[in-house]
Structure 1
Amino acid sequence: MNAKEAALLLGVHYKTILNMINDGRLAASKNDSGDWVISESDLAAREQRIDDKEFVAIYTHLAVQMIEKAHHRAINAAKEELIHVARAMIKVKDNRNELNQQVKRLQNALDGYKAAEAFTLTVDSIKKQAESENH
């Protein structure tokens, strides 16, 4: 298998696999194309030798990825809700009661978007902390 496939299997970044190869923690050879080739048995053996620090780093990386994905989904959902409510407001512009309801809905959607955006700093902080602990 190649280094990218190994990274997926171990749940680490591609560069982590390259670092492991370069510092001798993972056996690999280059093929005629110059790509790294890692045998499944070497990868399995390496997996058995992962120490606690690497184990924590791998799972921290996965957790950060999950947080980033959830954050991205929350922002997109909030944006979509804002757009949906804005379109609904246009349709009911002549009906004061409906318009008032849509204004309240718009405020709720805006609050949701602001909350998702505010979490951006927290996500960035988590990511930076995880990166500094892994290097």
Structure 2
Amino acid sequence: TGTQERHSTQGLVTTRAAQAGAAAQFALEGSVFVGGAVVQWLRDGLRAIGGSGEVQALAESVPDAGGVMFVPAFAGLGAPYWRPDARGALLGLTRGTTQAHIARAALESIAFQSAAVLAAMNADVGANERLTELRVDGGASANDLLMQF
């Protein structure tokens, strides 16, 4: 938000991003409690993959999530919901559901959490200051499928 400190009406946190000299730079922040840990759960909890690098190929082996929806609330939900009591859910399972559908739904859940935070940011800043660029880092940024959602 630049040098102007803004307070969110959409469930985000105002943070001091940096200070060089006298002028502090402020930002809106949205905490996503479980992002990359979703892939760890696929690896360690479900044993659907042997390593994090395998999730993209598994998820791409199906055209979509097959109606499977995944809510990764292993530690509650962060911004913009702030629901510490929320619990994870895996919905839409059928006899045709495979590990690939679950992997794809898991990746989509990361994207949907990020989209909710971005929508809240856009609502807070208004139509004249819409976000035009998103920079991503961390291990998940190597997943081309996830970066396309």
- Normalising by structure 1, what TM-score? 0.28
Larger relative CO (CA 8 A, sep 6+): 1 or 2? 2
- Normalising by structure 2, what TM-score? 0.26
Larger Rg: 1
Higher percent of residues as helix: 1
